[in-house]
Amino acid sequence: MSDTIQNPSSVSSMTGRIALVTGITGQDGAYLAELLLGKGYRVVGMARRSASADMVSARLRWLGVLDRVELVDGDLLDLSALIRIVQSVQPDEVYNLAAQSFVAASWQQPLLTGQATGIGAANMLEAVRLARPQARFYQASSSEMYGLIQEKVQTEKTPFYPRSPYAVAKLYAHWMTVNYRESFGLHASSGILFNHESPLRGIEFVTRKVTDGVARIKLGLAKTLPLGNLDATRDWGHARDYVRAMWLMLQQDVASDYVVATGRTTSIRELCRIAFSHAGLNYEDHVETRADLIRPAEVDVLLGDASKARATLGWSPVITLEEMVAEMVEADLARHRAAAAR
Ligand code: NDP
Ligand code: GDR
C-alpha cells in the first residue's frame, strides 16, 4: 500500500455513497466492508502499512471482498494523514473501528492503548470536523466501559466504571464522540457493542482461543487448553449481525448512542462446554486454568438490553451463540485440516 488509494475506482458505486472504514483489517472491518459493498457503497479502508502486506488483507480475502475494497495507508496516531485521507476520499459515512482492542494487552501497553483507542478516535473526529463535517460518523464503543457493573442489565443510561486501560481509553473516545455531536453538530453516533465473535475473531480472544483449541485437540495436535477465569460471563453475539447495527445507526436522521447486545449472558465455562461438545469432546478433560491468564481486574458479568436499537433501528440479532460456536469450530477444523494437507 501507499499514500494513494489502491484499487482506485475499480468498482463503480451503485449508490454513489462512499464509506471510509478504519480498522478494515480487523474482524468487524471485514464484515462491515462485505455489508457495505453488498449495498453498493464504494468502500475505502484505512490500514496501517505492514511489512507483511499479504497478512494485512487475510480477513478481506477470506470473505472474498479484497479486490473490491480500496485500501489506503493510515494510522490513527497520524492526524495529518487522517485529514488528507478524509479530504481526498470525501466520505459520506466514516466508521471508526480501529483500536488496540485486546483488553488483556492494555495492562502491558496502557499508553499505546490510550493513544490508539482513545486519542486515535479524537484524531478521527477532528479530521472529519475539519475536512468533511457533513459526513456521518460511527464510533466503536464497548460494553467494557460498564466494567464494575452498576446495574444488572446494562442500557444506554447505565453508569460507566471502566476496569482496564482499554476501557478507560474507550470511555474517552465515547465521550469525545458525544461532545463532537453536541458541540460541533457532527452526525456522530456511538455503538456500545457487547462482545461479538466469528471465525474471523483474533486468536487471542477467548471464543476463538477455545474453538481453535477444540479443533487442535480433536485433530490430535494438542491435548490441553490453558485458560484464565472461567466464571466471567459475556453477552456474545455474531459480528455479522453487529455490523448491520452500525450501518443502521448512520441511516437515522438524528445521531445517537445505542447498546447492541443479545440479552443473554453465558460463562466462559459454558462456552467451553458448548464448543467441546460440538466436536464430541468433554471440556473438563482438556481445559486447564492458569493463574497467569487471570487479569489484574475483571469485568465479571456483562448483559445488555438492546431495546433502543430494536425500537429505533429495527435491529435484532439473528445468529444464536450455539450456531456461531458451531461455525467457528468447523472453520478452525477446516483451517487445521487444510494446513496439515499442505
Ligand atoms: P480487531 O482487533 O479485530 O481490529 C482492530 C483494527 O484496528 C485492526 O484493523 C488494526 O490494524 C487496527 N488498528 C489498531 N491500531 C491502529 C492504529 N493505530 N491505526 C490504525 N489502525 C489501527 O477488532 P474488532 O474488529 O473486533 O473490533 C472493531 C472495533 O470495535 C475496535 O475498536 C474494538 O475495540 C471495538 N469493539 C469490539 C468488540 C468485539 O467484541 N469485537 C465489542 C465492542 C467494541 P492491524 O491489523 O494493523 O493491527
Ligand atoms: P473481552 O474479550 O475482554 O471481553 O473484550 P476476551 O475474549 O479477551 O475475554 C472475555 C472473557 O474471557 C476471560 N478469559 C480469557 N480471555 C482471553 N482472551 N484468554 C483466555 O485465556 C481467557 N480465559 C478466560 C476473560 O478474563 C474475560 O472475562 C472483547 C474485545 O473485543 C474488546 O475489544 C471489546 O470491547 C469487548 O470484547 C466488548
Tell me the CA–centroid distance for residue 26 and ligand 1, in Å. 5
pTM, two decimal places: 0.96
The C-alpha atoms of residue 208 and residue 213 are separated, in whole angstroms, by: 8
| Pocket residue to mutate for ligand 2, from 234, 238, 283, 288, most atoms within 8 A of Cβ | 234
Atom number of ligand 1 nearest to Cα 115: 18
Q: Is 114 in the pocket of ligand 1 (CB under 6 A)?
A: no
- Ligand with smallest separation from the Cα of 270: 2
SS3 label, residue 191: strand
Same domain, 221 and 93: no
Q: What is the pLDDT along the chain (342 residues), one digit of tens a residue?
A: 444 555 544 444 557 999 999 999 999 999 999 999 999 999 999 999 887 777 778 999 999 999 999 999 999 999 999 999 999 999 999 999 999 999 999 999 999 999 999 999 999 999 999 999 999 999 999 999 999 989 999 999 999 999 999 999 999 999 999 999 999 999 999 999 999 999 999 999 999 999 999 999 999 999 999 999 999 999 999 999 999 999 999 999 999 999 999 999 999 999 999 999 999 999 999 999 999 999 999 999 999 999 999 999 999 999 999 999 999 999 999 999 999 998
Question: How far, in Å, from the CA of 275 to the mean position of ligand 1?
Answer: 25
CATH of the domain at 287: 3.90.25.10
Residue 70: which domain range?
Answer: 18-197+237-260
Q: Considering the domain boundaries, does residue 85 fall inside one?
A: yes
Q: Do both 251 and 123 map to the same domain?
A: yes
Residue 297 lies inside a defined structural domain of this protein: yes
Query: 190 and 55 in one domain?
Result: yes
Indicate whether 112 and 216 sit together in one domain.
no
Residue 5 in any domain: the answer is no
What are the E-state strand segments in 136-207?
A: 136-142, 187-193, 196-197
- Is ipTM > 0.90 here? yes
CB contact at 8 A, 114 and 157: no
Coil/strand/helix, residue 142: strand
How many distinct structural domains can be found in the chain?
2
Do 49 and 108 belong together in one domain?
A: yes
Domain for residue 72, yes or no? yes
Residues 212, 154 within the same domain: no
CA nearest ligand 2 atom 37, residue? 195
Packed helices 27-38 and 239-250: angle between N→C axes, nearest 10 degrees: 60
Which three cell numbers mark 145?
A: 466501559
CA–centroid distance, residue 104 to ligand 2 (Å): 7
Beta-bridge partners for 44: 20, 70
Q: Does residue 287 share a domain with residue 245?
A: no
CATH number of 114's domain: 3.40.50.720
Residue 195 Cβ < 6 Å to ligand 1: yes
